Structure 1
Amino acid sequence: MARLFTRLAAIFLAVGLFFTSQSLAAPQRAEAADPGYLMLHFTGEGSGGQQMYLAHSADGLRWNDLNGGAPILRSTIGTKGVRDPALVRSPDGSKYWIIATDLCISCGQSWSDSINNGSRNIVVWESTDLVSWSEPWLLNVAGAIPDGRNAWAPEAIWNPATNDYVLYWSTNVPLDGRTKHRIFYARTSDFRSITTPQIYIDRPGTQELIDTQIVEVPDGVGNYRYVRASGDGQITLEGSNSILGTWTALGNLLGIGVTGTQGPGNTVEGPMWMKFRDRNEWALYLDQYATGRGYMPVTTTNPSATGTYQLPASGSYSMGVNKKRHGSILNLTAAEETRVLARYANTPAQRLQSFNFQDRYVRHANFDVLIDQNVTSDDAKFRLRPGLAGTGTVSFESVNNPGYFLRHANYDFQLVRNDGTAQFAADATFRKVAGLADSTWSSFQSYNHPDRYIRHYAYKLRLDPITTATGRGDATFRVTN
């Protein structure tokens, strides 16, 4: 009997340990399965760096560049450069907007130009799924500000008190002949029209303020529902229980060695908030512009308490390959993450070499498509994406015009922006098959006209039936780097 009790006790102990181990392991598995974070940013000066880039992180601290490190959107309007983007999600998740500074330093515009006679517009894109974006438009936010010289670093936050967005940005309105950037705000519901701009933050005297970003804090953390961090010569924190109400000064981050233009140390700007989804902890990312190193995170368990902020430990974060500057972070849902990672997968940039004119490659020129000699520029580089219209197919996305694909219309080819329609998807989708002239090469069969293939004729790309040896050669390509 004693031996029986001993065996039963052992069994109960094993069962108890099993369920204990399951209860301990389950949160870890759930945490690992949680969706991650999406960062929208620019990388630096020049026409390439001042465009829209994305990075993804599973834990909010270690980031991987998306889209092969290339821009996901390029501005085609205004100065044709964009910086300081904010990624805005509607409360119901049905719409998204990107809003950004219309500015292109070192590509036709100097800092003096931008400060004293810059664009009064911001650039806006809209999406319903976070992956297909509208054509950009310009929203004039500073034109109605007396002597307003520019519009920089736009941000927006949903205001439940007014059931619309508070859009805020920096504009230089000179004071006594000297530059003075202040933060202005207006209300909007659609980022196409705004109310009359009003002063939002104005520091005393000649003190300028360019960058500010607001975070909403849950009940039970600190004394304020909202905390804003501003780059005004240092990183200054303020708290409020109403976005358009009274804000209380909370201090700054000088105590942890983060300072700005008025002192020594780690000169930073572009504060960017992120809430860790699995705990009451926040990262405030700061752009180390003075040392050229881009973003680093400082962390806190209470955004309104300056004494809780900590510099990152060595090796505790990684920002990926691209430099990440003044941007915006979105906590993704599972569905959003699936779409984003599929759409902006790190598919390599490749060229299509002609079989029967092997010194020629497919390229676009003024949005027409042809084969041209020895082209190595990005005009001849495409990402072979999963087909827009069907599984087991491919679509060709331009590298230097992200969101634009090779599409046939009346059997002619052009480079066209994806408008999200089923017709576009079908016209831009192809089946990759063994080369019609050489099975070690490739040919591309139309998805919606399966009796036709991509081929060149008089060096222009066409969609034709292939019935001759010449046609088979014209319709055969090598996918190469």
Structure 2
Amino acid sequence: MPPFLTRVATLMVAACLLLASLMVSTSHRAVAAAPGYLMTHFTGEGATGQQIYFSHSEDGLHWTDLNGGGTALRSTVGTRGVRDPSLVRSPSGDRYWIVATDLCIDCGQSWGDAQSNGSRNLVVWESTDLVTWSQPRLLDVAGAIPDGRNAWAPEAVWNPATNDYVLYWATNATLNGVLKHRIYYARTTDFRTITTPRLYIDRPGTQGIIDTQIVEVPSGTGAYRYVRASGDGDITIEGSNSILGSWTKLGNLSGIGLTGSQVEGPMWLKFRDRDDWALYLDQYATGRGYLPVLTTDPTSPGSYRLPASGSHQMGGTKKRHGSILNLTAAEENRVQARWPATTANRLQSYNQQDRYVRHVDFDVRLDPDVSPADDARFRLRAGLTGSGTVSFESVNYPGYFLRHVGSDLELARNDGTTDFAGSATFRRAPGLADAQWSSFQSYDAPDRYVRHYAYQLRLDAITTTLGREDATFRVTG
């Protein structure tokens, strides 16, 4: 080949290689940027653990706690605790609900009380964007069930056959002389009103059933359109072509050593990038939280397999019975902006360095050895009035901010008003007693700063050396 043509051929090959490299790189970036998964869950017993938490995963197996591991939503109704949250998206994607058990164990209620005389209500939140949620409300689902004693572990699935949601849950009730948990259902379009509850799943004899979750299986995978996994002494797998039709028992997970005495709270995930599913199971017997069991066919119990060692990571908080949503790109952007994974902060006093700012019964003060620890953790958000300022949002009371009323500081729910925004916004300045620390000047009362006085937090005009020390804080992890 002549030298000129050789050089041309060499340049063409190089250009092709560069183009291929760019295509591969672009492809990898597209995969990396694909939206992930949102888990809603609770973390354990007590008033703090039994609330709504969010976690995010890019691949469905490695999870990061959102909101710095703090509470995302808090129940202020019923027992003031929630478990077993189910996150529901409307078919059009313009509305979302969280439906949860109204239950707070170790908050003045025992398991015996909860089973024999527990709440007959579910707790419901509603949203149009997945990040701005309504106040929680109670939905009575078990009050109309004869001898219905509680309402646990709710789930909901859209039923195209009836153009509404099938809402189902477990109630402990006496039927045919046998007292036990069975699954009941009702239909709803708005999670405000429901049809009369009817029996959905019953097991023979005295065998109860509490947890069940349904997943829709795409055409071409297995023989059934819907599969459900239930905690009923085993983890039973069933299939059906109609949500309210007959169901066929397909088997259980005893072949991989898992029974209902070890795990509960089945939670489905369909991987976005491959024909593979994870059935997450809560290892309640050992207190280890969720474990993903993998399968290429949910209708075939023999195909389920335990994950390889080290192939999954559940994040910093324990993940208990919840649900998973495959996010769209817009949803993911909103969720991560609202509840970032970054760690929340504490405010340490300059002249009382063993003490931190915390809330107690919505009052704000300094204390050492804060318990629960989340009472002293705040997320420093962009100020409610605009950029260049900060506002302090409580980690365990999301939507509640430090604000002043007159000279007093309190923790209060953001009501969306201009007055609230002004009273909950501060300018962060170099510390008045030490420029390496910080002081916080009131936005709407700029002649005053946040300080402590007799361990109470307040706003004051600062004119003395002691005042400057009282008004100086360190923002720390």
Query: How much does 1:92 deviate?
Result: 3.2
Match of 2:202 in 1: 202
Alignment partner of 1:24: what SS?
helix
CA contact (8 A) 2:408 2:458 kept: yes
Match of 1:431 in 2: 427
CA contact (8 A) 1:175 1:206 kept: no
Within 5 Å, give how 1:260-409 maps onto structure 2.
260-261=260-261, 267-344=262-339, 345-353=341-349, 355=351, 361-369=356-364, 371-372=365-366, 374=368, 376-377=370-371, 378=373, 381-389=376-384, 390-409=386-405
Residue 413 (structure 1) aligned to one of 397, 409, 430:
409
Cα separation, 2, equivalents of 1:14 and 1:361:
62
Cα distance change on mapping 1:117 and 1:421 into 2, 3 Å: same
Deviations 1:248-303 (A, max 9, x none): 33332333333334xxxxx2211101111112221111112223222111122222
Match of 1:42 in 2: 42
TM-score (norm 1): 0.89
The amino acid of 1:307's aligned partner reads G
CA contact (8 A) 1:351 1:479 kept: yes
Cα separation, 2, equivalents of 1:277 and 1:197:
35
Match of 1:264 in 2: none
Structure 1's unaligned 5+ residue stretches are 262-266
Cα separation, 2, equivalents of 1:118 and 1:289:
21
CA contact (8 A) 1:183 1:210 kept: yes
Cα separation, 2, equivalents of 1:224 and 1:319:
31
CA contact (8 A) 2:64 2:314 kept: yes
Within 5 Å, give how 1:69-468 maps onto structure 2.
69-175=69-175, 178-261=178-261, 267-344=262-339, 345-353=341-349, 355=351, 361-369=356-364, 371-372=365-366, 374=368, 376-377=370-371, 378=373, 381-389=376-384, 390-410=386-406, 412-421=408-417, 423-456=419-452, 460-463=456-459
Cα distance change on mapping 1:393 and 1:161 into 2, 3 Å: farther
Alignment partner of 1:228: what SS?
strand
CA contact (8 A) 1:351 1:380 kept: no
Cα separation, 2, equivalents of 1:322 and 1:218:
32
Alignment partner of 1:258: what SS?
coil
Deviations 1:10-41 (A, max 9, x none): 33333333333333343322110112111111
Match of 2:21 in 1: 21
Deviations 1:119-142 (A, max 9, x none): 111122223333333332221110
Over aligned residue pairs, what C-alpha RMSD do you find? 2.7
Alignment partner of 1:278: what SS?
coil
Alignment partner of 1:209: what SS?
coil
Between the two proteins, what is the percent identity of the paired residues?
A: 68
Cα distance change on mapping 1:149 and 1:247 into 2, 3 Å: same
How many aligned positions are there? 474
Cα distance change on mapping 1:454 and 1:102 into 2, 3 Å: same
Cα separation, 1, equivalents of 2:353 and 2:58:
43
Deviations 1:409-439 (A, max 9, x none): 4554321123455553443222211133443
Cα distance change on mapping 1:388 and 1:198 into 2, 3 Å: farther
Structure 2's unaligned 5+ residue stretches are none
Cα separation, 1, equivalents of 2:375 and 2:223:
56
CA contact (8 A) 2:209 2:231 kept: yes
Pick which of 419-428 and 187-196 moved more.
Answer: 419-428
Deviations 1:144-187 (A, max 9, x none): 00111111100112223333322110111235654421111112
Cα separation, 2, equivalents of 1:97 and 1:172:
25
The amino acid of 1:106's aligned partner reads D
Pick which of 346-355 and 163-172 moved more.
Answer: 346-355
Cα separation, 1, equivalents of 2:417 and 2:155:
30
Cα separation, 2, equivalents of 1:388 and 1:219:
49
Alignment partner of 1:173: what SS?
strand
Cα separation, 2, equivalents of 1:373 and 1:269:
39
Cα separation, 2, equivalents of 1:256 and 1:359:
51
The amino acid of 1:40's aligned partner reads T
Alignment partner of 2:174: what SS?
coil
Query: How much does 1:314 deviate?
Result: 1.4
The amino acid of 1:32's aligned partner reads A
Cα separation, 2, equivalents of 1:65 and 1:251:
34
Deviations 1:323-375 (A, max 9, x none): 212111111222322332233333333134265x7676544333233x44546
